[in-house]
Amino acid sequence: MLDILAITGPIYITIGVGFLATRFGLFSKADMRVFGKFVINLALPALLFNALAQRQIGEILNGSYLLAYLAGTLAVVGLGYCWCRRFAGLNPTTSIVYVMGMTCPNSGFVGYPILLLTLAPVAGVALALNMIVENIVILPLLLALAERGRGDAGSWQRQIGPALKRLVTNPLIIGVLAGFTVSVLDGKLPDPVARSVTLFATASSALSLFVIGGTLVGLPMRGMGPRVAPIVAGKLLFHPLAVLLALFALPLLGLPALDPSLRMAVVLLAAMPMMSIYPILAQTYGGEDFSAPALLVTTTASFFTLSGLLWALKHVSVWGEWFSLLF
């Protein structure tokens, strides 16, 4: 177990340093927003660009990975929404906000640093594939459903244009598309430019974790346990389980099996806590009272769930037997 803690420990120690530095005034919450903008607008796009531009296009466009992650995520969207509506009695918009917390992982800020320590050769490609599904399908779909749930039948249609505009101007998507282009053209950047891009890319890991810690300062918690428990369970348990089941189904559909490293990567990324902007998005739809506590609890609990998952992936022989039989 110590080898697993050697992986997850530095991740959560860095988050803790960000929390303490903000809690005791070394940095402010406003500083965290500035650091976050640097990561989102420069460091992560540079990382995604490097991950894709340095590989052949055949290594990147992995249909099995995309389908497994998309199918597992959509399954949680559907089941989570049904649970919220039928059993929890939530209204349509609040139900979608709950589902957003269950299905939108923090692939960049938490997921990539963990993959870098566990599955470094495929970390960048897995992150890019996740970003494609999350930014092009899942998040736009959930935002459209949330707008529709407000009761304005035409609202979500009016959102399509601005949503597409935000998508094509999103630095993360630009980084993915630029990396794809260089890969397809088999191009190569001049050395000074390539090294500059690499400098920005290497800044993403520690700073992103530090930002997560800082954003957790001051989040309310009192009396929130029963409200956030379904979101926590959906994100940390049911989302990776659904993706795992989708992986099992790939051979039944006649699709090629994933490389073992990518199989581990897609399950790990699905098991990450929700994205750090979850409370900001939820606030737009009246979910500010439970979304921030959900982020805090999920991020804290993920230390234990991710450590357990990593231990299972590395040491439980049954896991290997299952995959050897199915793949």
Hunting for tokens 């918690």 — which residue is that?
221
Cβ 236 vs Cβ 271: under 8 Å: yes
Q: Which residues contact 178 (CB under 8 A, 6 or more apart)?
A: 49, 53
State the angle between helix axes of 139-149 and 155-168 in degrees (0 to 180), rounded to the nearest 10.
Answer: 150
Q: What are phi and psi of 105, to 5 degrees?
A: -75, 160
Residue 97 confidence (pLDDT)? 92
Integer Cα distance of 193 and 190 in angstroms: 5
> Using 50, 70 and 90 to split pLDDT, how confident is the model at 318?
very low
> Using 50, 70 and 90 to split pLDDT, how confident is the model at 155?
low
Integer Cα distance of 115 and 135 in angstroms: 20
Whether pLDDT at 148 is above 80: no
Averaging pLDDT over each range in 80-84, 166-170, 174-178, which range is the top one? 80-84
Whether pLDDT at 244 is above 90: yes
Cβ 69 vs Cβ 243: under 8 Å: yes
Cβ 8 vs Cβ 306: under 8 Å: yes
Integer Cα distance of 234 and 319 in angstroms: 22
Integer Cα distance of 305 and 327 in angstroms: 25
Query: What tokens appear for 166 in the block?
Result: 């935000």
Provide the sign of the torsion angle of the four alpha carbons 306, 307, 310, 311, taken in this order: negative
Which CATH number goes with the domain that contains 132? 1.20.1530.20
Q: Which residues contact 11 (CB under 8 A, 6 or more apart)?
A: 110, 113, 114, 117, 209
Whether pLDDT at 145 is above 80: yes
Cβ 229 vs Cβ 98: under 8 Å: no
Q: What is the domain count for the chain?
A: 1
Range of the domain at 36: 2-326
Cβ 104 vs Cβ 134: under 8 Å: yes
Lowest model confidence (mean pLDDT) among 32-46, 59-73, 229-243 = 32-46
Residue 110 confidence (pLDDT)? 84
State the chain's mean pLDDT as an integer: 82
